[in-house]
Structure 1
Amino acid sequence: MTVLMSRLDTSGAEYGARREAMLAKLAELEAEQAKAVAGGGPAYVDRHRERGRLLARERIELLVDPGSPFLELSPLAAWGTEFPVGASVVTGIGVVEGVECVIIANDPTVRGGASNPWTLRKTLRAADIAFENRMPLINLVESGGADLPTQKEIFIPGGRVFRDLTRLSAAGIPTIALVFGSSTAGGAYVPGLSDHVVMVRDHAKVFLGGPPLVKMATGEESDDESLGGALMHARVSGLADHLAADEHDALRIGRRIVRRLNWRKAAGPVPAGAPPRYDEDELLGVVPEDLKVPFDPREVIARVVDDSDFDEFKPLYGPSLVTGWASVHGHPVGILANAQGVLFGAESQKAAQFIQLADRSRTPLLFLQNTTGYMVGKEYEQSGIIKHGAMMINAVANSTVPHLTVVMGASYGAGNYGMCGRAYDPRFLFSWPSAKSAVMGPAQLAGVMSIVGRAAAEARGQAYDEEADAAMRRAVETQIEAESLAFFLSGRLYDDGVIDPRDTRTVLGLCLSAIGDAPPAPPAGYGVFRM
């Protein structure tokens, strides 16, 4: 039998302490996500409703199939910056008329839906997901354009939004724009470059330059409707393919457009997988609050994969990395999960072989991260840790099967790379609230800076200021600790969202289903492995 046997003592004090620590982090997560859901705040929400408008998430709820899940992406975008949490846009994956689609919805209650640098990053990430996984892209448009004080960070990279729309269309991936309000200046090209365009009568306004700009540039007098109203675009310019009577009508038409796409998933139907034999709620007590304390990732695997069935590969070799085969909601996966944190030479070679096997069988890979990086020291350098780590990174970088990554705990140093961090373009990457990621741990980083500073002082023949060194170490540790936290990293879109550990199986199932929309890529061609 390959069913995992759990050894997690759910009645013990250690489990209870870990659970309470995770629940506290989840309460913080809920509070931060509530800020994004609140939009621009009660005053702006009330004003928007008084105008007879729906909120961004209400539009999404009416667009997607009743009772179907919506996987929101990057809800903490812009966290810890001067901009509102959520970055004035909602993005995610939803099912419309049975078709998995990427949805981008401007939130007009936040500065009129204006785009700031984090809005742009979040929007571009959503377009990348649509392209990689061949999912139709639906824009729910109501935006005042660029946040002008930050134009220097938006204007030049923002051209990618328009490039992406044309590339999606050229690749045969449908793009749909439902215009509820303003879509002006550069934003006018969102409907202009979409395959299908719906505009709401009396509300949609699409023009390159509004009446004041036209007056200044040409001296011409005009009004919003004659310059860029929905009726004008439906009757005169031809930009609008459909004229909607109101927002509900626009969403109905949008659903009808998707129904007529005749869209089919590349992958065939997947049989439903049996639920795990252990309660997903128990995932709350697996990860220690102190990430220096190791934990067994098999306890996570047993609560995520179908029937808790895991066929482990090389269980006695390189035991600090757990590898093996399983399925999640019927989708086969190869899993790499860090056991004791440190990656040694054997683990690296084991990983490289396992990744090649998955690539050969066209099996998606799931990386469960909890690593402090590759082992350092004279013994390990002499035994070839650089070569072995390079083999693993080579395999990850050039493998062409879809990769998914979940950061459960630590993600430090080059271990982040070998375990498919953001730089290695996993299809999806999510973090648990317990996750931390940096070049190294805060104490280690501060200690390295202290050693370097002490050596420099000795080389100059100067006495070393121990008091200043202690202050420097405290300051560096505080800074690195803050910058390594899950909320900070998610705010900068280094993941696709911080998730409740209990939702891991559901989130992975939704992602694996979305991946099935795209045809498989050809097998990998690897670079030179240094043996």
Structure 2
Amino acid sequence: MTVLASALDPSGPQYAENRAAMLAKLTEVEIEHAKSLAGGGEKYLARHLKRGKLPARARIELLLDPDTPFLELSPLAAWGSEYTVGASLITGIGVIEGVECLITANDPTVRGGASNPWTLKKALRANEIAFANRLPVVSLVESGGADLPSQKEIFIPGGALFRDLTRLSAAGIPTLAVVFGNSTAGGAYIPGMSDHVIMVSERSKVFLGGPPLVKMATGEESDDESLGGAEMHARTSGLADYVARDEPDALRQARRVVARLNWTKAHPDPGPVAEPKYDPDELLGIVPGDLKVPFDPREVIARIVDGSDFDEFKPLYGASLVTGWARLHGYPVGVLANAQGVLFSAESQKAAQFIQLANQRDVPLVFLHNTTGYMVGREYEQGGIIKHGSMMINAVSNSRVPHISVLMGASYGAGHYGMCGRAYDPRFLFAWPSAKSAVMGPQQLAGVLSIVARASAAAKGQPYDDEGDAALRAMVEQQIESESLPMFLSGRLYDDGVIDPRDTRTVLGLCLSAIHTAPVEGARGGFGVFRM
């Protein structure tokens, strides 16, 4: 039998301790998520509603098919910065008229929907996801353009936003802009470069320069409506393809446009799906609060794959990396999951072979991270850990099947790279609240700095300040600890969201469904030179 057996004891003290630690971290994440949901706050939401406008999330809800999920992406963007959590933009994947689409929506309650540097990063990441997975893009637009005080950080890279729209269209991926209010200056090019444009009568305002700028530049007197209103763009400029009488009508028309796209997935949806044999609620008690304590990733796999059915590959070789085949919401997947944290030569070679096999079979890969990196030390250096670790990274880099990464625990050093970290272009990357990611652990990094400083003082014949060293180590540990936490990393768009472990199977299923909109084809060769 290939159904995984579970040794987890939900009534035991270790489980209770792990669960309590995870729930505490989840509470912290939920507080920050609430800030993103609140947008600009009650005052600006009330002003928005008074103008007869729908909130951005209500627009998305009316756009989506009833009772279908919305996978929000990067909700913590800008966390820890001077800007509002969420970066005044909502992005995610949802189903419209049966078609999975990438949806973006400006939140006009946050500085009028103006774009700051994190808004741009979030929008560009959304476009990456749309392009890689061939998802039609629907933009719900209401923005005054760039947040001018931060223009120096937006203007130059911001051109990529418009470039992406044209490249999506050139690749045959439909783009649709629904303009609810202002879409000015550079923002005017969002409808200008979209395949389909819907504007709302007496609400939409699309122009390169508003009346004040026109007055300053040319001396011409004009008003919003004649300069950039929906009626003008429908009757005179031709920019608007459809004019809606109000916001619900605009969203109704957007649904009709998507219905007429004649859009089909490259792969049909799978058939019946078997639920895991174990309760996903138990995922809360698997990862210890102290990441130095190992845990068996098979306990996680058993609670996310179909029927808890898992064919393990090379179970007796390279045992600190679990690899094997399964189905998840009906889709075939290969799973790589760290067991004991450290990656040795055997694990690296095993991973490289497994990744090649997945590419031969056109099977997407799921990486479950809990690694402190590749093993160091004289024995391991002499045994070829550099070339074997490089072999694994080579395989990940040149693999062509889609990758999804989930950071469960530690994800340090080059192990983060070998397990398909952000720099290796996973289609999606999510983190649990328990995750940590950095060049190395806080204690190790502080210790290295201490050793180097002590050696430097000895070389100069100077006495070493032990009290100062202790203070430095404490400061460095605190800094690295705070910078390795998932909210810090998510705020910088290094993942696509911090998720509740109990939602992992659902999130992965939504991602796999989106992935299979595009062809899934592995590399048939084309890997770099594997140093033997």
Aligned counterparts, 1:29-68, within 5 A: 29-68=29-68
Equivalence for 2:417: 417
Which amino acid is 2:393 matched to?
Answer: I
Which amino acid is 1:527 matched to?
Answer: G
Aligned counterparts, 1:143-154, within 5 A: 143-154=143-154
Which amino acid is 2:170 matched to?
Answer: A
- Partner Cα separation in structure 2 for residue 335 and residue 440 of structure 1: 24
Question: What do residues 433-454 of structure 1 show as CA deviations (whole Å, max 9, x unaligned)?
Answer: 0000000000100000001111
- Partner Cα separation in structure 2 for residue 230 and residue 152 of structure 1: 31
Structure 1 residue 522: Cα displacement: 5.3
Percent identity of equivalent pairs: 76
Matched, 1:174 2:174: yes
* Structure 1 unmatched ranges of 5 or more: none
- Partner Cα separation in structure 2 for residue 260 and residue 423 of structure 1: 37
- What SS does structure 1 have at the residue aligned with 2:27? helix
Structure 1 residue 505: Cα displacement: 0.2
Equivalence for 2:195: 195
Structure 1 residue 365: Cα displacement: 0.3
Matched, 1:526 2:521: no
Residues 276 and 306 in structure 2, CA contact (< 8 A), matched pair in contact too: yes
Aligned counterparts, 1:510-525, within 5 A: 510-521=510-521, 523-524=523-524, 525=526
- Partner Cα separation in structure 1 for residue 253 and residue 69 of structure 2: 21
Aligned counterparts, 1:67-466, within 5 A: 67-466=67-466
Which amino acid is 2:517 matched to?
Answer: D
Residues 74 and 122 in structure 2, CA contact (< 8 A), matched pair in contact too: yes
- What SS does structure 1 have at the residue aligned with 2:463? coil
- What SS does structure 2 have at the residue aligned with 1:115? coil
Equivalence for 2:483: 483
Which amino acid is 1:530 matched to?
Answer: R
- Partner Cα separation in structure 2 for residue 520 and residue 339 of structure 1: 28
Structure 1 residue 268: Cα displacement: 2.0
Question: What do residues 233-273 of structure 1 show as CA deviations (whole Å, max 9, x unaligned)?
Answer: 01110000000000000000000000000000001231132
Residues 363 and 520 in structure 2, CA contact (< 8 A), matched pair in contact too: no
Residues 363 and 522 in structure 2, CA contact (< 8 A), matched pair in contact too: no
Residues 360 and 522 in structure 2, CA contact (< 8 A), matched pair in contact too: no
Question: What do residues 60-101 of structure 1 show as CA deviations (whole Å, max 9, x unaligned)?
Answer: 000000000000000000011110000000000000000000
Provide the aligned C-alpha RMSD in A.
Answer: 0.6
- Partner Cα separation in structure 1 for residue 269 and residue 408 of structure 2: 30
- What SS does structure 2 have at the residue aligned with 1:124? helix
* Structure 2 unmatched ranges of 5 or more: none
Q: What is the TM-score normalised by the length of structure 2?
A: 0.99
Which amino acid is 2:436 matched to?
Answer: K
Question: What do residues 160-195 of structure 1 show as CA deviations (whole Å, max 9, x unaligned)?
Answer: 000000000000000000000000000000000000
Question: What do residues 386-427 of structure 1 show as CA deviations (whole Å, max 9, x unaligned)?
Answer: 010000000000000000000000000000000000000000
Structure 1 residue 459: Cα displacement: 1.1
- What SS does structure 1 have at the residue aligned with 2:181? strand
Structure 1 residue 26: Cα displacement: 1.1
Q: Which segment is superposed worse, 29-38 or 104-113?
A: 29-38
Which amino acid is 1:4 matched to?
Answer: L
- Partner Cα separation in structure 1 for residue 374 and residue 500 of structure 2: 28
- What SS does structure 1 have at the residue aligned with 2:529? coil
- Partner Cα separation in structure 1 for residue 272 and residue 208 of structure 2: 49
Structure 1 residue 483: Cα displacement: 0.2
- Partner Cα separation in structure 1 for residue 21 and residue 112 of structure 2: 38
- What SS does structure 1 have at the residue aligned with 2:337? strand
- Partner Cα separation in structure 2 for residue 24 and residue 456 of structure 1: 42
- What SS does structure 1 have at the residue aligned with 2:54? coil
Structure 1 residue 466: Cα displacement: 1.1
Which amino acid is 1:370 matched to?
Answer: N
Q: What is the TM-score normalised by the length of structure 1?
A: 1.00
Residues 358 and 522 in structure 2, CA contact (< 8 A), matched pair in contact too: no
- Partner Cα separation in structure 1 for residue 79 and residue 351 of structure 2: 34
Which amino acid is 1:281 matched to?
Answer: D
- Partner Cα separation in structure 2 for residue 487 and residue 446 of structure 1: 22
- What SS does structure 2 have at the residue aligned with 1:414? helix
In 2 relative to 1, CA 401–522 (structure 1 residues): closer, same or farther, beyond 3 Å? closer
Structure 1 residue 47: Cα displacement: 0.3
- What SS does structure 1 have at the residue aligned with 2:76? coil
- Partner Cα separation in structure 1 for residue 8 and residue 64 of structure 2: 39
Equivalence for 2:509: 509
